[in-house]
A and B are shown apart, each in its own frame.
Chain A
Amino acid sequence: EADIYQTPRYLVIGTGKKITLECSQTMGHDKMYWYQQDPGMELHLIHYSYGVNSTEKGDLSSESTVSRIRTEHFPLTLESARPSHTSQYLCASSANGEKLFFGSGTQLSVL
């Protein structure tokens, strides 16, 4: 049902590397979100966008940045990865701010 894709699914990387997590959706949704989730913990919103060229920071402070140049694409970038960035990153989209469609997530491990 959901047409939202995240790559890579798993990523193991060394400290100091720059990484970009990709998220794309083919549903034409204006609203897109990035959540961070640690094992056994709640999802925390780190970035959101309500349309092209619109991005805002979420509740949880994050050193990552996002961009929204095209409706379907909402990549997340870490300029210099650290072990504290190890987590699962979930991308989501919605048409009307109600039902969220989630991607499969990226499990990031920074060594």
Chain B
Amino acid sequence: GQNIDQPTEMTATEGAIVQINCTYQTSGFNGLFWYQQHAGEAPTFLSYNVLDGLEEKGRFSSFLSRSKGYSYLLLKELQMKDSASYLCAVRDPYKAGAGSYQLTFGKGTKLSVIP
């Protein structure tokens, strides 16, 4: 089956660093995605990892360990606008129909950045 776990809520201070963890158990694996979703808005793409290691993109970095079924999103120099939900999603090639890959989403981590 499919199981993706993330902390429900986190709070961090403006200017600090925060790490949001995601663990997954899926039938297959072909990539892990992080999306940001502000309240009442649509999710927007942040990062994609398919190989082990760290992918850095500005203030945001994402790490993947396929053997451990584990990923984290690292946010540096936190800003108030980073207050949002962060969704971890896994692409499982064995879940979907032939020739198609679909994403399974976690419930998201609601991050609150305080002054």
Contact = CB atoms under 8 A, between A and B. Distances in A.
Interface string A21-34: 00000000001010
Q: How large is the interface on A (under 10, 10 to 19, 20 to 34, 35 or more residues)?
A: 20 to 34
Interface in A78-111: 90, 97-105
A38 to B, nearest CB: 10
Contacts of B107: 40-42
Contact of B105 (A31, A43, A101, A103): A43
A97 B101 contact: yes
Given A42-B105, A42-B108, A99-B48, A105 B100 contact: no
Given A40-B107, A42-B107, A43-B87, A99 B45 contact: yes
A48 interface: yes
Nearest to A50: B100
Contacts of A97: 91, 100-101
Contacts of B87: 42-43
A100 B103 contact: yes
Contacts of B13: none
B105 A48 contact: no
B44 interface: yes
Nearest to B9: A40
Contact of B41 (A44, A50, A100, A104): A104
Given A43-B89, A59-B102, A104-B42, 14 more contacts: A2-B44, A40-B8, A40-B108, A40-B110, A42-B4, A43-B43, A43-B105, A45-B102, A59-B95, A97-B100, A97-B101, A100-B43, A102-B44, A105-B42
Top 7 A-B pairs ranked by shortest CB distance?
Answer: A102-B42, A43-B105, A42-B105, A42-B107, A97-B101, A99-B45, A102-B43
Interface of A: 2, 31, 33, 40-45, 48, 50, 56, 58-59, 90, 97-105
